[in-house]
Structure 1
Amino acid sequence: MVLGPNGAGKTTLLQVAAARLHPTSGAVQILDETLGAVDVFELRPRIGLCSNAVAGSLPERETALNAVVTAAYGVTGRWREEYERLDERRAFELLDAWGVSTAFDRPFSSLSEGERKRVQIARALMTDPELLLLDEPGAGLDLAGRERLVQRTSRLIGAEDAPATVLVTHHLEEIPPGFTHVLMLRDGRTVASGPIDETLTAETLSETFDMPLELHRRDGRFSAFAAS
């Protein structure tokens, strides 16, 4: 879990973790590989990425099914490449698991924001990644859409075969139960990091968002309010 305000560097960090951006200094290791010493085109299929950048690269008229299945080739638009029936079946099963199988033949551009988010996550899971990166998947969702996403994400990370998952957000309500560690950022610097139960406190949260805050937790979910 990566938590911080807008402009803290969360998305930049995730782009580096996805092997889509190289650091200007230092060394980065991802899945036991070092950026700069590995073919990123071999590394990237091992990483599932759900982000606005990926969504923006999907052709508007691409169907939801094609938006998912094209991840098998690491492309964002279906052209002349051939897919096995097994690939299409897996794509459909992922859409079904995320509650959007009925939209499989609809253009991606026609989907609601919640449907788009779930299609993007299905796409990120298409290659059975070892690492799953979710960049603010709850952004733009209404209350019901957010809660459905939280429930499905919590089930995903709780599965025995779940990939290592990193979720970026600046809303505590979007944190699904089951995440074990948190990295808190402000202005590109680490405020705190470690086990979420020990690290996410009113004090570290207040420092991260530069505002006195009260932290509440109930049934594994978090919320925060301005300190009175």
Structure 2
Amino acid sequence: MTDNAADYTTDLDVVADPDLLLDLRNVSLLRDGRALLDDITWQVALGERWVILGPNGAGKTTLIRIAGAEEHPTSGRAYVLGERIGRTALRDLRTMIGVSSAALGGRIPPTEKVGDLVISAGYAVLGRWIEEYDEIDREQAVMTLEQVGAMHLVDRTWGTLSEGERKRVLLARAIMVNPELLILDEPTAGMDLGGREDLVTYLSALALDEDAPATVMITHHVEEIPEGFTHAMLLDEGVAVAQGPIDEVLTSENLSRTFHQPIELDRIGGRYFARRVRVGGTHRA
């Protein structure tokens, strides 16, 4: 991918807001004539923790690919960490963004050792080749794995890990680089109940830590939103149904509009729970 693939405006007087880590202005992305994202305006500031929810095909992954400096929008302006996508070297931006995603996991060789996989994040490579790592790197990797409850996996290979173990290792890799922005694509998917709750508890502690990076997380389930998340966006068919402070966005009415069926939302002890309230809703085909 070339960094000049989308020069979508000639305005030279538009500059990035230094207080925003993400600043998307009227961003759209078209593929095969279909709008995967349609006129999205979205800002993420220091200290904010965002969750993005929506049905399958809503555009969630496309949105965070732009936020993670992995995709150019077709139109609009996208600033990531103060740099405009399309006018900067994306590789340099990616070194400051921690990403945990299934797509990343699918590119990891099964023979890759967990310790090397986590350490290599600091070198912006996927897996170890001929690099020589310092002892401080190894200590940081072990400490990071310990934080996510995966230190016992340090000498295992990727191909021997369960889905839940892989999620923990990917999270450790994402935070190994001390990122300015942390992007989590369904971090608890594939976990059993105990593993999910362990990881949600850790993510909650991270969200409540004032020194932790700004975080954007995708999930399909409100039950997986950690306590401490501050903002939410609901996406449907590439359009933002609602976005803003989480208590204002996560409502029964907004969820019903987004998922096209009657949803009732409850909040218990800082966590959210949703259910369908009657049979015969209007779920989209």
Tell me the equivalent position of 1:208.
Answer: 258
Structure 1 distance, partners of 2:169, 2:105, is: 9
Residue from 222, 233, 254 that aligns with 1:172: 222
Q: Report deviation, 1:130.
A: 0.4
Give the superposition deviation at 1:72: 1.1
Could you say which residue in structure 1 is the equivalent of 2:117? 67
Per-residue CA deviations over 1:18-70 (Å, capped at 9, x if unaligned) read 00111111110111111111111111111000001111111111111111011
For residues 115 and 179 of structure 1, the distance between their equivalents in structure 2, rounded to whole angstroms, comes to 24
Distance 1:162 1:69 in 2: 19
Q: Which amino acid is the alignment partner of residue 76 of structure 1?
A: L
Read off the aligned partner of 1:213 and give its amino acid letter.
Answer: I
Higher helix content, 1 or 2: 1
SS in 2 for 1:28: strand
Which structure has the bigger radius of gyration?
2
CA apart distance, 1:108: 1.2
Q: In the alignment, which of 77, 85, 94 is matched to residue 35 of structure 1?
A: 85
- 46, 55, 76: which is aligned to 1:5? 55
Q: What is the distance in 2 between the residues matched to 1:3 and 1:115?
A: 24
Matched residue, 1:192: 242
Q: Gapped runs of 5+ residues in structure 1?
A: none
In structure 1, the residue matched to 2:95 is 45
* Richer in strand (by share): 2
The reply on whether 1:218 has 2:260 as its aligned counterpart is no
Q: CA deviation at 1:160?
A: 2.3
Q: Larger relative CO (CA 8 A, sep 6+): 1 or 2? A: 1
Query: Which residue is equivalent to 2:182?
Result: 132
Name the % identity: 52
Q: Structure 1 CA distance, aligned partners of 2:224 and 2:66?
A: 23
Deviations 1:99-148 (A, max 9, x none): 11111000011112111101000000111000000000111111111101
The equivalent position to 2:108 in structure 1, one of 58, 83, 86, is: 58
What is the aligned partner in structure 2 of residue 182 from structure 1?
Answer: 232
Q: Secondary structure at the match of 1:27?
A: strand
1:91 is matched with 141
| Alpha-carbon separation, structure 1, partners of 2:191 and 2:228 | 21
The one of 132, 136, 152 aligned to 2:202: 152
Alignment of 1:107-118 (within 5 A): 107-118=157-168
Measured in 1, the distance between the counterparts of 2:142 and 2:257 equals: 44
Q: Quote the residue 1:23 is aligned against.
A: 73
> Residues of 2 paired with 1:201 and 1:97: CA distance?
33
Task: Structure 2: give runs of 5+ residues left out of the alignment.
Answer: 1-50, 279-285
Shift of 1:84: 1.2
Please report the RMSD computed on the Cα atoms of aligned residues, expressed in angstroms.
0.8
Quote the Cα distance in structure 2 between the aligned partners of 1:84 and 1:36.
Answer: 35
